[in-house]
Structure 1
Amino acid sequence: MTMEHPFYDIAVIGGGLTGLTAAIYAARSGRSVILLEKDSRLGGLAQTARIGGALFNYGPRAMYEGSAALRILEELGCKPSLGSGTKNAMYGILDGKLIHAAQELSPEEQTEWSTLMGSLNRIDPEPIRSISMKEWTLGNVRSDRVRQFFYAMCRQWAYDDDMERLSAGYVLEQGQLASQGVRYVLGGWQTVIDSLQREAVRAGVVIAAGAEAAQVVHEQGTVTGILLSEGTLLRTGSIIAAAGPHAVSKWLKGSGLHSRSLEVWKEQSHPLYVSCLDVALKQVPYPDRAFVLGLDEPFYYSNHSAAIPLTDDGSQVIHVMTYHGSSPAGDSELVLRRLKERLEAIQPGWEQATAAVRFSPNLLAAHASRPALRSGDAPAPGPAVPEICGLYVAGDWVGREGRLADTAMTSAKLAGLTAAGID
């Protein structure tokens, strides 16, 4: 790696949404900033691949109207073009068979369901952040069948299936945000990455793709640089690690540095995994079936092309996904077979209409779950690592606001400003 300067005020490790956001805020504050990304292409799991004329994100990805991610993107001048999620009728999968919510629920259950969803925005999530989703639901939902439908909604709000551990306040807050409107990104999430990359360069960030961090370098507990995997020593005054707690811990070990706080955050993180089957269909047998959730299994189906065009030829891009929780699936072939079976129940004959397909097993959906035990907060309360001067962290496991991109970009903004000395 050839560096433009012998020293940078701030080095950002990671070239996804988090790292790019942190780098822009730090550079706009007048600091010299270099961004290191181990891959040749920026974006991480926010990349979009073009396969057979179809644009595939890594599984179903959306933003909520009023979310922190959209606020920050607008502030940076990088807000993408968006399409609205479908408001079609909800379907469920039960015992492997498709059912229609309105037809499955009795009149009394339909009334309870409508009342529950209609009153969602009147619930104050703060007092119930320390109780589990299961505890709250058992105390507020009478019907077992309504509870099944509600758990299915909670699962896709939180990307987590563990209702006994999940914070009720955290999940319901996400549900309230979702009720404001689900937005899909026109052109795929790669357009967001590309826009952030252009803005980073405009702000003066030096982007080093293909540069892999190997070790944090320090003097008496104060950050002084980063040793790259190919042997280059990059001198810097501060580091923003836009990565997960396990990666940050690995970068510290070889240097003799130790952070008890980071180790605690790592132990508490409990990452969440999903497997996704993404398909582009030339024809969709039942176009009204745009949104389906598993009622007795952690399953999700959505036709994102109902909101935005994602192909060159008018094919429909459909995402089928299962949630694994904190344990990756051991048998990927079994997972793929199950996802195909569920897709067949929703769209019979789909394989004959396939224009493109991609299966992504055991994707990291989030670096941390949000249990009631922590009141729904992420493991790390803020970007500063207490025991190490000049080391900051950012990502979906840092801070309190929102989930996934919302948490990642909020913590990235704070990390960029804090590392730059901006209160």
Structure 2
Amino acid sequence: MKESIQAYDAAIIGGGLTGLTAAVYLARAGRSVILLEKERRLGGMAETTRINGALFNLGPHAMYEGGAALRILRELDCEPPGGYAAKSGMLGILQGRIVDVSRDLSAEESGEWSGLMGGLSGIDTDAVGSLSLRDWSQKKIRHERVRLLFEGMCRQWTYSGDMSALSAGFAIRQGQLAALGVRYVDRGWQAAVERLRGAAVQAGAVLAAGRAAERVLLRDGRVRGVSLADGSALEAAAVLMAAGPEEACRLVPGSARMSLGKWRGEARPLYAACLDIALKRPPCPERVFALGLDEPLYFSKHSGPVSLSDDGSAVFHAMKYNGTDGGSDAKADESRLTELLDLLEPGWDKEIAAMRFTPGVLVAHDSRPACRHGAGPAPGPSVPEASGLFVAGDWVGADGRLADAAMASAKAAAEAILRRR
């Protein structure tokens, strides 16, 4: 007897924030949906790992008040508990020394810094979108240390290290969102994943973790379904690739001749090296946030406003932004990050409750949306050469960065699928 093939209105490939967001929207609209995730655990780049009682996200994660991620989580009634990062206590690292913004700046520098950050919301970002951040900062900021501080903040807001390529409009727009509030998630970002998972299941979506897609099935220029690595297949009127451009191209036959192949070829991924640590008793508990001014470094305590450990240990993230260099020297990066901790938390190695170093972390699948000259029309959400094929992720659309871009494009893709007849 021939086994019947299951049919769905939509199949989603990828079980991170992108895929789960789209699944909730589609299932709540009455569509039959299956989500395929090759790993046994949902979450993707938003997963949280428990190590010796400490909860580590994949490097430092935060949501911006006013950004698409928080807006969509609230719209779906899936916002997890969280708290806001402090807006004071910033330190800079310049030539291997600590610069305390509240004490070490001159009166003139302090006045310019306060005016710059206080006036951020009034800047017309569209008017400066064609300028590089370097050109804008050199024109607008008189003091060198203030310029370095601001460029360090822009690096943090955008994950982009090349100030000569970074769009001033894009960077400042991200800063305007950050000024409204930087929100950490209690018990890690897996809490957001679980909220979305529960909402998707309640709405009727089928979440198939541990089932890997092998190929998108196309015929006569239309999506027909998906074949799976276990040899089975399913029918689907629409397929949403909630994955990076590399994975999307691998799964779609003939992608090199489609817009999908063009998007993949143009993508410029961003990478970082991350050192995540939980300290039983931080040697300098007042030091909660620092940025490299002459190096692409980041340090922050994320457990202040939220709980990220079972025993109350403080969770910190130290990171080196590596830009588009996915082959950065891992040993050198780890050494530099431990030196950063030696400077900011001397004696930290005697208080370790948990620690993890991760080199070559993929931060974003494409850096082009932040570039000065733009990147042409934004990818997706539809792939015009294949009816019923859609894409979503942090590389799709033009709304924000990282989780904001991923979830905004997921919503846009779901809406595009719902408009199909």
TM-score, normalised on structure 1?
0.95
Amino acid in structure 1 at the alignment position of 2:186: L
Runs of 4+ in 1 over 6 A off after TM superposition: none
Q: CA deviation at 1:378?
A: 8.5
Cα distance change of structure 1 residues 193 and 336 upon mapping to structure 2, 3 Å threshold: same
Does the Cα contact within 8 Å between 2:37 and 2:212 map onto a contact in 1? yes
Aligned to 2:174: 174
Report the Cα distance in structure 2 between the residues aligned to 1:143 and 1:268, rounded to whole angstroms. 37
The aligned runs of 1:43-54 (5 Å cut-off) are 43-54=43-54
Q: Deviations over 1:378-417 (max 9, x none)?
A: 8634301111111000011111111111111011011112
SS at match of 2:342: helix
Q: Deviations over 1:64-95 (max 9, x none)?
A: 11221111111111011111102332111122
For this pair of structures, how many residues does the alignment match?
418
Does the Cα contact within 8 Å between 1:129 and 1:372 map onto a contact in 2? no
Aligned to 1:287: 285
Aligned to 2:95: 95
Does the Cα contact within 8 Å between 1:273 and 1:324 map onto a contact in 2? yes
Cα distance change of structure 1 residues 379 and 15 upon mapping to structure 2, 3 Å threshold: farther
Report the Cα distance in structure 2 between the residues aligned to 1:335 and 1:181, rounded to whole angstroms. 30
Aligned to 2:378: 380
Amino acid in structure 2 at the alignment position of 1:90: M
Does the Cα contact within 8 Å between 1:24 and 1:416 map onto a contact in 2? no
Cα distance change of structure 1 residues 359 and 228 upon mapping to structure 2, 3 Å threshold: same
Report the Cα distance in structure 2 between the residues aligned to 1:257 and 1:91, rounded to whole angstroms. 47
Cα distance change of structure 1 residues 9 and 414 upon mapping to structure 2, 3 Å threshold: same
Q: Identity across aligned pairs (percent)?
A: 51
Aligned to 1:140: 140
Aligned to 1:184: 184
Aligned to 1:203: 203
Q: From 256, 262, 265, give the equivalent of 2:263.
A: 265
Report the Cα distance in structure 1 between the residues aligned to 2:373 and 2:147, rounded to whole angstroms. 24
Aligned to 2:410: 412
Gaps of 5+ in 2: none
Aligned to 2:249: 249
Gaps of 5+ in 1: none
Report the Cα distance in structure 1 between the residues aligned to 2:5 and 2:197, rounded to whole angstroms. 20
Q: CA deviation at 1:4?
A: 9.4
Report the Cα distance in structure 1 between the residues aligned to 2:137 and 2:88, rounded to whole angstroms. 25
Does the Cα contact within 8 Å between 1:259 and 1:388 map onto a contact in 2? no
Report the Cα distance in structure 2 between the residues aligned to 1:191 and 1:4, rounded to whole angstroms. 36
Aligned to 1:227: 227
Cα distance change of structure 1 residues 4 and 165 upon mapping to structure 2, 3 Å threshold: farther
TM-score, normalised on structure 2?
0.95
Report the Cα distance in structure 2 between the residues aligned to 1:52 and 1:327, rounded to whole angstroms. 31
The aligned runs of 1:247-396 (5 Å cut-off) are 247-252=247-252, 255-369=253-367, 370-375=369-374, 380-396=378-394
Does the Cα contact within 8 Å between 1:310 and 1:317 map onto a contact in 2? yes
Amino acid in structure 2 at the alignment position of 1:295: L
Structure 1 range deviating more: 11-20 or 255-264:
255-264
Q: Deviations over 1:356-384 (max 9, x none)?
A: 10111111111111344454x68634301
Does the Cα contact within 8 Å between 2:187 and 2:309 map onto a contact in 1? no
